[in-house]
């Protein structure tokens, strides 16, 4: 009967530790992102500050600006 060599046992242990570590970190990142998405909100002041701009241009104001003299 062959007994597993010491390096095979170490390789297997290293593989298991790597797989569990990867799995743990992946779950950790996933749940942190999930928590952030659920708890992040926009402040009321920011909501009030962000209003859509009107695409209309007042041609009268543009004419006044054009008639001003620049020095």
State residue 5's pLDDT score.
Answer: 57
Q: Which two tokens stand for residue 41?
A: 């909100």
The model's confidence at residue 51, banded by pLDDT at 50, 70 and 90, is confident
Mean pLDDT of the chain: 84
Give the burial string for 49-59 (b: 16+ CB within 10 Å, else e): eeeeeeeeeee
Question: In 3-state terms, what secondary structure has residue 42?
Answer: coil
Please count the residues of the chain: 71
> How far, in Å, CA of 61 to CA of 59, rounded?
5
Q: Which residue has the higher pLDDT, 39 or 19?
A: 19
Asked if pLDDT for residue 27 goes beyond 80, the answer is yes
């Amino acid at each position: 009967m062959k007994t597993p060599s010491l390096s095979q046992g170490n390789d297997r242990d290293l593989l298991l530790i790597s797989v569990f570590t990867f799995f743990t970190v992946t779950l950790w990142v996933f749940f942190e992102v999930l928590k952030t998405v659920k708890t992040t909100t926009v402040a009321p002041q920011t909501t009030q500050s962000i209003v859509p701009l009107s695409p209309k241009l007042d041609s009268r104001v543009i004419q006044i600006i054009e008639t001003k003299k620049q020095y």
